[in-house]
Structure 1
Amino acid sequence: MVSFRDERSAHRYDQDPSLSRGDVSTIRGRQRSGVVEQDRNLDTVDLRVPADPAYLAVVRTAAAGLGTRLDLTLDEIEDLRIAVDEACSLLLAGRAHPGRTLDAAFEVGLVGSQNLSVTISGPVAELPREASFSWSVLRALAGDVVTGTWQDGTWIKLSVPGRAEK
């Protein structure tokens, strides 16, 4: 499932509840009574792919495409791609999870508030120790990293400043 939300449109695709494994907007507490709240200063892109390392290229490519909107340099876009890939890898623990999904919510700041935050949720119940090499790479490449758990797994939120904030 892919959905785009901004000040021009706010829609959710109806889904079979038996197939749903959670919603990133629910994790972030942005959904109440089935109505998605809009932040008029953000464009949001939600991406849901099967929880399988084979689909990480789709999430990396989406991150790179949105990084260009912030006028990031090629090196900064590559850093963003690597950070998103590391976060996804941590959330998958290096293996496929049949029947589960990896959800990525990208919030891109509009003109005047150029930033990007990516919240990725995955099926692993517990993230590896933060002293691992993957965490070192992730923290070095992302501006801010926050983690948490929810009923169906864990999530990682990355915040990357855009050119206007540097």
Structure 2
Amino acid sequence: MTRTCATTTRPDELDPVLELRAPADPVHLGPLRGVATALAGQCNMDLDRLADLRLAVDETCSTLLRIALPGTDIVCRFRLSPDSFRLAAAVSAPPEEADAPVERKFGWHVLRTLTDELEITRGPGAGPDRTAVTIAFTMFGGDAV
């Protein structure tokens, strides 16, 4: 199912980061959502906020899986603190798919409603005819909401 899973802490940031890499295939959407929900339980989120987070993870990963090049991976980086959860998910996509106006689609409006911070970035991919597409969001829990 997953190929690697490692926890690291960057010296300039105190919040732990967990990176999860899986083949960019919709069959892995359930486990990605499950890992995100389990991790978010550490971020002082109530049940309603956890349900919103599950939907946000689902929409983020689904959007990226639709444009991912076959045979590539989706890379999810989770950053946790007692009062916040951040997901940055990335795939390699063909340039014509990467440049599609994701921000105009209904799913993007759903993400904007569910999350506290949301961004999409596009940049050079690892190789010719590849564009790296990352969707990142932050949700706050506890007293930070």
Q: TM-score, normalising length from structure 1?
A: 0.72
Contact 2:52 2:114 in 1 (8 A): yes
Distance 1:90 1:128, change over 3 A: farther
Q: Among the aligned pairs, what percent are the same residue?
A: 30
2:71 counterpart (65, 82, 99): 99
1:99, CA displacement in angstroms? 1.9
- Which runs of at least 4 in structure 1 moved beyond 4 Å after TM superposition? none
Q: TM-score, normalising length from structure 2?
A: 0.82
CA distance in 2, matches of 1:118, 1:90: 14
Match of 1:2 in 2: 5
1:127, CA displacement in angstroms? 4.4
1:43, CA displacement in angstroms? 1.2
List aligned pairs for 1:113-124, cutoff 5 A. Answer: 114-124=83-93
Alignment-mate amino acid for residue 4 of structure 1? T
1:90, CA displacement in angstroms? 1.1
Asked if 1:67 corresponds to 2:40, the answer is yes
Higher helix share: 2
2:24 counterpart (31, 42, 51): 51
Q: Can you give the 5+ residue segments of structure 2 that lack an aligned partner in the other structure?
A: 126-131
**How many residue pairs align between the two structures?**
132
Asked if 1:145 corresponds to 2:114, the answer is no
RMSD: 1.8
CA distance in 1, matches of 2:13, 2:90: 24
Partner-residue secondary structure (3-state), 1:148: strand
